[in-house]
Amino acid sequence: MGPKDRKRFELALKGYHLATAEIIYRRPDYRSLLQTFVWQDLDLVPDFPALNRFLEYWEEHLDGPLHSVRVTSAPLLRPADIRAARGYFALN
């Protein structure tokens, strides 16, 4: 298990989920046109602090006003992901 995998496993144990947000926003130059942006990151459910920080940044620094945001999430670990080992073999 590499360092990235270990970090992801630790976050999963702390309750992090893979969160995906479909952000629909109005084009800055043509307000009647909508465009889609997909954001994805590890985040805590149900408060989504990372997503909220991103949306605050969007509203403060980007010109395209938000129209709507749809969020889904999936746990990083499920019961089928962890199984007990049947045996341990050491090869020399």
* Average pLDDT of span 22-31: 95
Structural domains in the chain, sorted by start: 17-74 (3.10.20)
Q: What is the DSSP string of 30-55?
A: -TT-EEEEEEEEEEETTT-HHHHHHH
In angstroms and rounded to an integer, the radius of gyration of the C-alpha atoms of the chain is 19
Cα separation, 22 vs 16, in Å, equals: 19
SS3 86: coil
List the single range of 25-29, 47-51, 78-82 with lowest mean pLDDT: 78-82
Report CA dihedral (26, 30, 35, 37) to the nearest 10 degrees. -70
Q: Tens digit of pLDDT for each residue in 63-74?
A: 999 999 999 999
Q: Is the pTM of this model over 0.85?
A: no
* Average pLDDT of span 25-31: 94
- Token readout for 23 is 């952000």
